[in-house]
Structure 1
Amino acid sequence: MTGRPRITIITGAASGIGRAVSNLLAGRGERVIGVDLNGADIAADLADDAVRAKLATHLLTELPQIDAVISCAGVSLPDDGARTVSVNFFGATRLLTRLLPRLTEAPAPRVVVISSIASLFPPDRELVDCCLADDEARARLIGARDGNKAYASSKRALTQWIRRTATGADFAGRGVLLNGIAPGTIKTAMANPILANPEGRAMLAKAVPIALGDYADPGEIAPLIAFLASADNRFMVGQVPFVDGGSDVLLRGDEPL
């Protein structure tokens, strides 16, 4: 690596995909600033907008430059749909909006947001619309009403936000390449309890079928994220590729859209 190492902010950096991509980038000599509830460089609860604002101010003050932001923080809490919505959608979009001015100063700014195969599941359309209207208070109320749909709906909203935002004047128009990925079932703390017993594994295989023999480890997802967050990614804009062992194809068939 020549010149100054890239500086990347990663939310959800203490575990799962976030930790895997943090380790990958740090191993390449890049400077990684990890954010999580605990176990990372910075402790922050992204469900709280006041905390997001404070975090953004701290990052903007302390860092000389921000080359990339990777939003990995996410939760699935059927008993707390309000928190699920706040972390998954607003924890990404509100923080990114606040960091955007500094990103535009970097020579090759990149943003990667983690969506999910669950974005294909039937959403609560009202919840999705509230997210896309940036109405967090209303979205939290709807999420609390049906926590089981909050995860899929927040991820559907996130995917739509990426696609409708990435090509606009604030992102692509200022050289900031915004993309996402949609992982399938990954061996993380969220999925491991289900994968640990035959009944849960069978239920998961029915809801999210897979063409391969096993599910991915977080480290197998990290290289794609690292590419999207790098200066080597020159022309991918607004894309949310599925990284799912074939689940998207099995669920939707051969139609590309």
Structure 2
Amino acid sequence: MDRLNGKTAVVTGGGSGIGFGIAQRFVAEGAFVFLFGRRQDALDAAVAKLGPNAAAIQGSVTELADLDRLFAAVEAQRGTLDILVANAGTGELAPLGDITPGHYDRAFDVNVKGTLFTVQKGLPLMRAGGSIILTGSTTGEMGTPSFSIYSASKAAVRNFARSWALDLKGTGIRVNVVSPGPTLTDLALDVVGREPFEALGASTPIGRLGDPSEIGAVAAFLASSDSSFMTGGEVFVDGGLAQI
């Protein structure tokens, strides 16, 4: 597997969960990956697992100065950027009637503002043939009880890809969305709880939760020239949850 040989990638939220699954596959395919995230301990553990073709920058996608530090490091060490994965995200359960401004601010600051400025600040380092991958969600397509703020934020991410595909016309840079379904991560278990989350996985046509490595495999396809005729699109990796 060397579809990404010599490529430089950034994965936000890359220290754990789906972001780490993506980074792990990218390294296996030959890329050098910069992980970006808030928790230094998780980043250090991830780099130790990934080996010499990974580096970590600590920071938050909600802080523009942190994003500036990230892309300054990428430019200093690698010169250019081939693959940008705006994966960092967060969510909380809150039914209509109990939603607070804090619920809204936390979700939209990370999922929407963070995605926007991650891409905008990384874009000057990208060149023709580059691939931008946004992490969406099945919740952007489906009604989901007690999860409307997160779901709305992911619907915004989906439209970013449609609109940015037009903004990037003629540059040779593509932008697509990978939308996971119920995937076994610590964050998902913390938000939803193990028993209801496993029940959700069992309700899919495939009948189980997804693994972050399965999202990584599809992200590697979107990052590679195998998807060279795709932009503005969305690929669901959801066990069929949002397809029936």
TM (norm. structure 1) is 0.76
Residue type matched to 1:36 in 2? G
Q: Quote the residue 1:117 is aligned against.
A: 138
Residue 12 of structure 1 is matched in structure 2 by 13
Partners of 1:73 and 1:64 in 2: how far apart?
Answer: 23
Task: Tell me by how many angstroms 1:33 deviates.
Answer: 0.9
SS in 1 for 2:129: coil
> How much has 1:48 moved relative to structure 2?
2.1
Whole-angstrom CA distance in 1 between matches of 2:110 and 2:30: 29
1:179 to 171, 176, 180: 176
2:66 corresponds to which letter in structure 1?
A: V
**Structure 2 vs 1, CA of residues 49 and 80 (structure 1 numbering), >3 Å: closer, same or farther?**
farther
TM-score normalised by L of structure 2: 0.80
Report the secondary structure of 2:132's partner residue. Answer: strand
Gaps (5+ residues) in structure 1?
124-146, 251-257
Aligned match of 1:28: 29
User: Are the aligned partners of 2:132 and 2:176 in contact in 1 as well (CA < 8 Å)?
Assistant: yes
**What is the match of residue 114 of structure 2?**
91
In structure 2, list runs of 5 or more residues that go unmatched: 44-55, 94-101
2:11 aligns to what SS in structure 1?
A: strand
Shift of 1:50: 3.2
1:149 aligns with 2:170: no
The residue aligned with 1:162 is 161
Confirm or deny: 8 A CA contact 1:187 1:217 kept in the other structure: yes
Go from structure 1 to structure 2 and tell me whether the alpha carbon gap of 1:176 and 1:200 turns closer, same or farther (over 3 Å shift).
Answer: closer
- Could you say which structure has the higher strand fraction? 2
Q: 1:84 to 1:3 in 2, by over 3 A?
A: closer
Contact 2:133 2:178 in 1 (8 A): yes
| Aligned mates of 1:212, 1:3 — CA distance in 2 | 29
Aligned residue runs from structure 1 range 226-245, under 5 A:
226-245=220-239
Amino acid at match of 2:166: T
Query: SS state of the match for residue 69, structure 1?
Result: strand
Change in CA separation of 1:180 and 1:28 when aligned onto 2, cut-off 3 Å: same
SS of the residue corresponding to residue 151 of structure 1 reads: helix
1:120-169 Cα deviation digits (max 9, x unpaired): 2459xxxxxxxxxxxxxxxxxxxxxxx9532111100000111121133x
Distance (Å, rounded) in 2 between the aligned partners of 1:70 and 1:46: 12
4+ long deviations beyond 4 Å: 1-4, 199-202
C-alpha distance in 2, partners of 1:155/1:2? 29
